Amino acid sequence: MNKETYNEYVKQITPKHSVFGNCWKAFLVGGAICVLGQAVTAALQRVGMPQEDAASWCSLLLVLLGVLLTGPGWYARLAKLGGAGTLVPITGFANSVAASAIEFQKEGQVFGIGCKIFTIAGPVILYGIFASWVLGIIYMIF
């Protein structure tokens, strides 16, 4: 097989992606997750919960929903459809932590789940704290 034939073969089997279509799907799926969060917050406020408490409970419920959808593989299907739209909200973070725990559970509680659960969460927490520190320094200077 020569180089041109190989390149043509690769071109044929490589999936075609539409940037506009992927962005649109990410917008819709991510937006739907955010609308769900807003609806939960509004419902909690409607029953008399203060705004700060409602927002905290909403975050907790979205994390729980992300974990519950990760177990049977439903969040992965949603991520295949919505791409980055499922990664950005808090549910994406919950999915990444739960998926790590599920993937390594066969290696045991300590060396499997205990060591690997923070594979994704560790860098996110580290850089989140670092970014907050940098922004705090910038805020103090200006």
| pLDDT score recorded for residue 98 | 81
| pLDDT score recorded for residue 1 | 66
How does pLDDT run across 101-141, given as a tens digit for each residue?
A: 777 777 777 766 677 777 767 777 778 888 899 999 998 98
Mean pLDDT of the chain: 86
CA angle 80, 83, 87 (to 5 degrees): 115
Confirm whether pTM is higher than 0.95: no
Token match 């690769």: residue? 10
How does pLDDT run across 47-65, given as a tens digit for each residue?
A: 999 999 999 999 999 999 9
